[in-house]
Amino acid sequence: MKSNSSLFCDQVQSQVLGIHPYIPGKPVSELQRELGLETITKLASNENPLGASPKVIDAIKNELSDIARYPDGSAYALKQELTKFLAVNDTQLAIGNGSNEVLELVARVFAGPGDEIIYSQYAFAVYPISTQVVGATGVEVPAKDWGHDLSAMLAAITDKTKIIFIANPNNPTGTFFTQTQWQEFINAVPKHIIVVLDEAYLEYAKSFLDEKRYFDGVDYIEGHNNLLVSRTFSKAYGLASLRIGFLVGNEEVIQYINQMREPFNVNHYAQVAAQVALQDQAFVNEAVLLNQQGMRQITDAIETLGLEYIRSIGNFVCIDCGDKAQHYNQKLLEEGVIVRPVANYGMANYLRVSIGTQVENQYFIDALKKVLQAN
Secondary structure E strands in the chain: 41-42, 93-96, 116-120, 137-141, 161-167, 194-198, 227-232, 245-249, 308-310, 316-320, 337-338, 340-341, 350-354
Helix, strand, coil percent values for the chain (each to nearest 5): 45, 15, 40
Scanning 64-72, 232-240, 296-304, 347-355 for contacts with ligand PLP by CB under 6 A, the matching segment is 232-240
Q: Pick between residue 148 and residue 224 the one whose CB is nearest to ligand PLP.
A: 148
Classified as helix, coil or strand, 167 is strand
Scanning 94-102, 178-186, 304-312, 339-347 for contacts with ligand PLP by CB under 6 A, the matching segment is 94-102
Q: Which phi and psi (to 5°) does residue 74 adopt?
A: -95, -5
| Sign of CA pseudo-dihedral 68, 73, 77, 82 | positive
Burial class (CB in 10 A: 0-12, 13-18, 19+), 81: middle
Among positions 149-188, residues that touch ligand PLP (CB under 6 A) are 167, 171
Selected from 37, 50, 240, 343, the binder of ligand PLP by CB under 6 A is: 240
Shortest Cβ 65–ligand PLP spacing (Å): 27
Scanning 80-88, 93-101, 337-345, 362-370 for contacts with ligand PLP by CB under 6 A, the matching segment is 93-101
Determine if 107 is a binding residue for ligand PLP (CB under 6 A). Answer: no
Is the N-terminal amide bond of 172 cis, ω within 30° of 0? yes
Shortest Cβ 9–ligand PLP spacing (Å): 30
Rounded CA separation 248/233 (Å): 14
Shortest Cβ 95–ligand PLP spacing (Å): 11
Shortest Cβ 124–ligand PLP spacing (Å): 4
Q: Mask 243-272, x = binds ligand PLP (CB under 6 A)?
A: --x---------------------------
* Cβ-based neighbours of 18, under 8 Å, separated by 6 or more: 132
Helix, strand counts (H, E) of the chain: 14, 13
Q: Is the distance from CB of 255 to CB of 93 less than 8 angstroms?
A: no
Selected from 41, 92, 100, 275, the binder of ligand PLP by CB under 6 A is: 100
Scanning 98-106, 107-115, 215-223, 263-271 for contacts with ligand PLP by CB under 6 A, the matching segment is 98-106
Q: Pick between residue 120 and residue 171 the one whose CB is nearest to ligand PLP.
A: 171
Total binding residues toward ligand PLP, as defined by CB under 6 A: 13
Selected from 232, 265, 271, 315, the binder of ligand PLP by CB under 6 A is: 232
Instruction: Specify the pairing of strand 161-167 against strand 194-198.
Output: parallel
Rounded CA separation 26/99 (Å): 21
Selected from 41, 43, 44, 98, the binder of ligand PLP by CB under 6 A is: 98
Q: Pick between residue 270 and residue 365 the one whose CB is nearest to ligand PLP.
A: 270
Residues binding ligand PLP (CB under 6 A): 46, 98-100, 124, 167, 171, 198, 200, 232, 234, 240, 245
